[in-house]
Copies of this chain bind each other. A is one copy, B any other.
Amino acid sequence: MSRLVMKFGGTSVADIDRIRNVARHVKREVDAGHQVAVVVSAMAGATNQLVAWTRAAAPMHDAREYDTVVASGEQVTSGLLAIALQEIGINARSWQGWQIPIRTDAAHGAARIADIDGSKLIERLEIGQVAVISGFQGLGPDNRIATLGRGGSDTSAVAIAAAIGAGRCDIYTDVDGVYTTDPRIDAKARRLARVSYEEMLEMASLGAKVLQVRSVELAMVKGVRTFVRSSFDDPDMPGLSGINYPPGTLICDEDEIVEKQVVTGIAYSKDEAQISLRRVADKPGVAAAVFGPLAEANINVDMIVQNVSEDGTLTDLTFTVTNADYDRAKKVLEEARGAIGYQVMQGSTDCAKISVIGIGMRSHAGVAADAFRGLASRGINIRAITTSEIKISVLIEASFTELAVRTLHSLYGLDSSN
Question: Measuring CB to CB, which residues of chain A are less than 8 angstroms from any residue of chain B?
Answer: 16, 19-20, 50, 53-54, 56-58, 61-62, 64-69, 71-73, 75-76, 78-80, 82-84, 86-87, 93-94, 96, 98-99, 143-145
Q: Are B57 and A76 in contact (CB under 8 A)?
A: no
A325 vs B58: C-alpha distance when bound (angstroms): 50
With contacts A86-B58, A87-B58 taken as known, whether A65 is within 8 angstroms of B53 at the C-beta atoms is: no
With a CB–CB cut-off of 8 A, which chain B residues contact A94? 64-65, 68
CB contact under 8 A between A68 and B62, given known A16-B57, A87-B57, A143-B99? no
> Are B72 and A19 interface neighbours, CB within 8 A?
no
A58 contact set on B, CB distance < 8 A: 83-84, 86-87
B99 touches A80 (CB 8 A): no
Q: With A58-B86, A86-B62, A98-B98 in contact, do A53 and B76 touch (Cβ < 8 Å)?
A: yes
A69 and B65 contact, Cβ closer than 8 Å, known pairs A58-B86, A98-B98 = no
Distance in angstroms from A85 CB to nearest chain B CB is 9
* Residue in B53, B66, B75, B93 whose beta carbon sits within 8 Å of that of A75 in the complex: B75
Q: Is the CB of B68 within 8 A of A75?
A: yes
Instruction: Enumerate 24 A-B pairs (CB-CB under 8 Å) in ascending A order.
Output: A16-B53, A16-B56, A53-B76, A53-B80, A54-B83, A57-B87, A61-B83, A61-B86, A61-B87, A62-B82, A62-B86, A62-B93, A65-B82, A65-B93, A66-B79, A67-B79, A68-B75, A68-B78, A68-B82, A68-B96, A69-B75, A69-B76, A69-B79, A99-B144
Q: Give min CB distance, A327 to chain B, whole Å.
A: 31
Q: Are B62 and A80 in contact (CB under 8 A)?
A: no
A93 touches B78 (CB 8 A): no
- In the A-B complex, the 3 residue pairs with the smallest Cβ-Cβ separation, listed nearest first, are A69-B79, A68-B79, A58-B87
**This chain: copies in complex:** 2
Query: In the bound complex, what is the Cα–Cα distance between A98 and B73 (angstroms)?
Result: 18
Residues of B close to A20: CB separation below 8 A: 57
Question: Closest CB-CB distance, A253 to chain B, in whole Å?
Answer: 37
Are B83 and A57 touching (Cβ within 8 A)?
yes
Complex interface: chain B residues within 8 A of A53 (CB): 16, 76, 80
Bound CA span A335–B224, Å: 64
Most buried by B among A19, A58, A93: A58
Residue of B with least CB distance to A54:
B83
Question: What's the minimum C-beta distance from A86 to chain B, rounded to whole angstroms?
Answer: 6
A28 to B334, CA, bound (A): 50
Within the complex, the shortest CB–CB distance from A328 to chain B, in Å, comes to 28
B98 engages A83 (CB within 8 Å): no
**Is A93 in contact with B80, judged by CB distance below 8 angstroms?**
no
Within the assembled complex, what's the spacing in Å between the Cα atoms of A159 and B54?
29
Contacts of A66 in B (CB 8 A): 79, 83
Least Cβ distance of A145 to chain B in Å? Answer: 8
- Specify the chain B residue showing the minimal Cβ separation from A56: B16
Q: Are B96 and A80 in contact (CB under 8 A)?
A: no
Q: Which residues of B contact A86 (CB under 8 A)?
A: 58, 61-62, 65
In the bound assembly, the distance between CA atoms of A184 and B298 in angstroms comes to 62
Inter-subunit contact B65/A79 (CB<8 Å): yes
A sample of 8 more A-B contacts (CB under 8 A), given A62-B93, A68-B96, is: A16-B53, A57-B84, A62-B82, A66-B83, A68-B78, A69-B83, A72-B73, A96-B145
A156 to chain B, nearest CB (A): 17
With a CB–CB cut-off of 8 A, which chain B residues contact A78? Answer: 68
Distance of A145 Cα from B19 Cα, bound (Å): 22
**Closest Cβ–Cβ distance, residue A103 to chain B (whole Å):** 15
CB neighbours of A145 from chain B (8 A) = 96
CB-CB under 8 A from A93, the residues of chain B are 62, 64-65
Query: Which residues of the partner chain B approach A87 to less than 8 Å between Cβ atoms?
Result: 57-58, 61
Q: List the B side residues contacting A98 at CB < 8 Å.
A: 98
CA distance A67 to B87 in the complex (A): 17
Assembled-state Cα–Cα distance A86/B96 (Å) = 27
Q: Name A143's closest neighbour in chain B (CB-CB).
A: B99
